[in-house]
Chain A
Amino acid sequence: MRNTILEVRDLRTKYITRFREDIYAVDGVSLKIEEGKSLGVAGESGCGKSTLALSLMGYYFPPLHYTSGDIIVNGRNITALDPDTTRKNVLGKEVAYIPQAAMNALNPTRRIIKFIQDVIKAHIPEMSKQEVRELATERFRILGLPEKVLDQYAVELSGGMKQRTVIAISTILSPKVLIADEPSSALDVTSQKMVIKMLRDLMEKGYIKSMIFITHELPLLYNVTDDIMVMYAGQIVERGSAKDMVFDPKHPYSKGLMGSIIVPEPGTRELELVAIPGTPPNLKNPPKGCRFAPRCKYAEDECLLHEIKMKTFGEGREYRCKFSIDYLTEKYNNGKS
């Protein structure tokens, strides 16, 4: 068996708003990633994907607060560390982050190389500026980024170049886990491809040991990650291999989500574009039982009564639904005819 790089057990975090309301945006998430593997996270806007990304860093500042759960990176539980240790030894070094809005992620008045120096100095103070430059030059060269970018300011870079620079900076310390929050969604197709290729290169060359890739563009996920996890209202509702999840989703929400996109694969007919009716629940007080029940066309009264646990089935697959797989499969087949 491969090494487990990241294991998350029942992680809960919440936002405390200015009006002292709690918003449970990550509510009991568990996951596991092995060395060399990548995991995609999909879900509608507002389901807590970005919050999950931030929560996995183990470093919290208002309005986001840690409630409970464990994050184990390479055998060490980082939720037990004090913030400054996390800052110095975990962030960027063990777990690295690529923000959703990478366009504005760089300090506009600092040259890229200076910023990289700041990053490295925060973790390895003994490294000289010369060494930092050599490392950065080498890394940029391998990742196919022009070396002159190092001496430029963020404002002088194009959107795609900024995004790739951010990726190179985030991974400069060869982290164990890279969490990429929609790293390509604001880019044109060519730049998207370059970003994906770059992330693959990072994995292949061993600069990162595992990756979590967040997006709402499912076809893209199919080509990029090994596994896919579907998130709804702060919880995971289904997990499986990318192939299973795209072609044979089981949870009604995943089904709806997959159905709302067009899978550009040869052999599959174009699926109809159907949006899931209704809107995600307000995370201030989510439904007590199944959170998807109010929007689910198979839901029964009982769905709303009890909290539903994740159930395993098949090979490494899990789902969160009251109904059995057979029951759901039958329903889906009936619906088609």
Chain B
Amino acid sequence: MSGYRKYFTKKILWFAVTFIVAVLLNFILPRLMPGDPVAVIVSKNAQGMSESTAVIEMYKQYAEEFGVNDPMIVQFFTYFKNALRGDFGVSFSQYPRKVSNIISEAVWWTVGLQLPAIIFGWLIGNILGALAAYLKKGFDKVLMPVSLFLSSIPAFGMAVILLVLFAVKLEIAPTSGGYGFDMIPNFSWSFIRSIISHYQLPFWSIVIYIIGGQALGMRSMSIYELNADYVKYSRFLGIKDKKIVSYVFRNAMLPQITGLALSLGVMIGGALVAEIIFSYPGLGTTLLAAITMADYPLLSATTLIITMMVLITTFAIDFVYGVVDPRVKAAQIDS
């Protein structure tokens, strides 16, 4: 048990270190981008102004407000202190909206889209992979190449294919947005319907993208488990096949959980791309907007939130995994 505790103490330490490094990188990287965001905002707001002193005055005022005149190190500590309180400052591009407001709105779109899509894709992929291993023959012969094909298409590729096929050619789904652009969010039936129809393409593009890889992984795990010694031994003890199959799939499924944890970062990355392609109002689209507008505060906060989401889920899965799989627990104690 103490080995187990040591393992998680170590994990938590790593978690803390990763977190600090992530905050640091999230702060520095956007600021290395070329361009003067204050100038961009000033030029936007100063349109029509002719007096240069007024414009300069305005520039100074903004620079003061955003704190860009302070030395980098001071800026960082201010940023870090505020970030811990959930305050990420004011957005440059959507001035004077607060970054935290923008993010808290976008994050629900992202979670609402990605969480169900990733879990659903993971489940279906695993079921298909298990079936292919168990049924073999025709089913496997079809599933294998299809999964290989699907898993080798990049995330954006699937999104673009669906977009062109269903939105542009067949016109049975909207091309972009989270709901009809002419609508105001409310609880009416037509608004909900609009949300659902806008949900389909990004959702399925993520699901299909995930299914391929997961099915391949689960298939080979299951084949491996089906040939394990304990399967043969259980058979010769007279245990029913149904029970043995349940052993096999449980044992094959468990490592797939790590697969899920490991690929979560990649998945979220891929899913963000899907958001961008469909202009879905989540973090992906926010991130893209922040990049194009050189909006440091928004950019830092968005990447930080995404990093945090990946970190926390990975950590949680690692923990759950050790609890449900004695093999992993033994390995965790050993390490």
Contacts and interface: CB of A to CB of B under 8 A. Distances in A.
Interface of A: 54, 57, 59, 61, 87-88, 90-93, 96-97, 99, 101-110, 118-119, 122-123, 153, 155-156, 166, 169-170
B35 interface: no
A33 B148 CA distance: 55
B240 A109 contact: no
A109 B238 contact: no
B235 A169 contact: no
Interface of B: 228-230, 232-240, 243, 247, 250-251, 254, 325-327, 330
Given A97-B236, A99-B229, A105-B233, 19 more contacts: A57-B236, A61-B235, A87-B238, A91-B235, A91-B236, A91-B237, A91-B238, A96-B236, A99-B232, A99-B233, A99-B236, A101-B229, A102-B233, A105-B230, A107-B234, A109-B327, A153-B327, A156-B326, A170-B237
B330 A97 contact: no
B236 A109 contact: no
Given A105-B230, A109-B325, A155-B327, A59 B235 contact: yes
Contacts of B247: 107, 109-110
Given A108-B327, A109-B250, A153-B326, A118 B243 contact: yes
Contacts of B232: 99
Contacts of B236: 54, 57, 59, 91-92, 96-97, 99
A156 B330 contact: yes
A99 B230 CA distance: 9
Nearest to A57: B236
A4 B61 CA distance: 104
Query: Chain B contact residues: over half helix, strand or loop, or mixed?
Result: helix
Nearest to A101: B229
Contacts, number: 76
10 contacts: A90-B238, A92-B237, A99-B233, A101-B229, A105-B229, A122-B237, A122-B239, A155-B326, A155-B330, A170-B237
A108 B237 contact: no
Nearest to B330: A155
Contacts of A170: 237
Nearest to B230: A107
B243 A106 contact: no
A116 to B, nearest CB: 10
Nearest to B228: A104
Given A97-B233, A105-B229, A105-B230, A92 B238 contact: yes
7 closest Cβ pairs, A-B complex: A91-B238, A153-B326, A104-B229, A105-B233, A97-B236, A155-B330, A92-B238
Contact of A122 (B238, B251, B327, B330): B238
A90 B235 CA distance: 12
A109 B325 CA distance: 6
A104 B224 CA distance: 13
A160 B254 CA distance: 27
A244 B237 CA distance: 34
A108 B238 contact: no
Nearest to A84: B240
Contact of A107 (B235, B238, B251, B330): B251
B301 to A, nearest CB: 41
A118 B330 CA distance: 24
A61 to B, nearest CB: 7
Contacts of B239: 118-119, 122
B235 A108 contact: no
Contacts of B230: 104-108
Given A104-B228, A105-B230, A88 B326 contact: no
A57 B236 CA distance: 8
A109 B229 contact: no
A90 to B, nearest CB: 8
